[in-house]
Amino acid sequence: MFAVQMPLVTPEEYLHHEKEAETKSEYISGEILAMAGGTPEHSAIATEVRRILGNLLLERGCEVFDSDLKVRIEDAGPFFYPDASVVCGEPAFDANFCLRNPVLIVEVLSEGTAVYDRGEKFRNYRRLDSLRHYLLIDQNQCHVEHYRQVEGFFWELVGEYNQRQDTITLNEMEITLTLNEIYRRVGFTD
């Protein structure tokens, strides 16, 4: 993701821009950040994760959303398009159809977004009261990072997984994912 140098805009100006735009952009601190297109690996992983989560959570009262749905952190922003987000219970949308209460957010990493997704974007996601899990999935190698909220304010790295037989457990949702499932459609080796 690369910032396009533009004058600072308000959240309302950003939301109006997004309604008219042909491409998606994220918003942080008054800046609109144009989103670059993804690779086939990125798309395959994101699609597979949403499918897996959708199947596992079908009977648990949870809903999985794709990267077309904005997540709004606070009224003044920022706004992000995660690769996948999950809500358990009733989704909370604002008047602009931005999701306000995800319990899980998934980002598929690229060389250009990895630092941002681990850093500034994660710092902002942590401001969501509802968020309990954050998964970062590398598109270039078999590697997943799982962060979990503990004690209502503290975040811990639960684990880093890099073998296809490794499993990731999301206790609150009572589901387990395997890296083999996540990377099923990607052709690189461990």
150-172 pLDDT, tens digit each? 987 799 999 999 999 999 999 98
Rg (Cα) of the chain, in Å, rounded? 16
Global pTM reads 0.92
pLDDT band at 83 (very low <50, low <70, confident <90, very high): very high
SS3 45: helix
Is residue 145 scored above 90 in pLDDT? yes
Query: If DSSP codes are grouped into helix, strand and coil, which group holds residue 43?
Result: helix
CA distances from 101 to 92, 119, 125 (A): 6, 21, 11
List, in order, residues 6 or more apart from 20 with CB less than 8 Å away: none
Question: Does 2 reside within a domain?
Answer: no
Residue 19 placed within a domain: no
Domains held by the chain: number:
1
Residue 143 lies in a domain: yes
Tell me whether residue 20 is in a domain.
no
Chain Cα centroid distance, residue 185: 19
Q: Domain for residue 125, yes or no?
A: yes
Strands 133-138 and 104-109 come out as parallel
Q: How confident is the model at residue 187 (pLDDT cuts 50, 70, 90)?
A: confident
In the chain, the N- to C-terminal Cα span, in Å, equals 26
The CATH number of the domain holding residue 87 is 3.90.1570.10
**Residue 103, domain member (yes or no):** yes
Sorted by sequence, the CB contacts under 8 Å of residue 77 that are 6+ apart come out as 11, 14, 27, 28, 29
Burial 27-42 (b: 16+ CB within 10 A, else e): bbebbbbeeeebeebb
Q: Cβ distance 79 to 27 under 8 Å?
A: yes
Is the pLDDT at 6 greater than 80? The verdict is: no
**Domain hosting residue 45, numbered range:** 38-182
Say if 9 falls within a structural domain: no
Task: Decide if 15 is inside a domain.
Answer: no
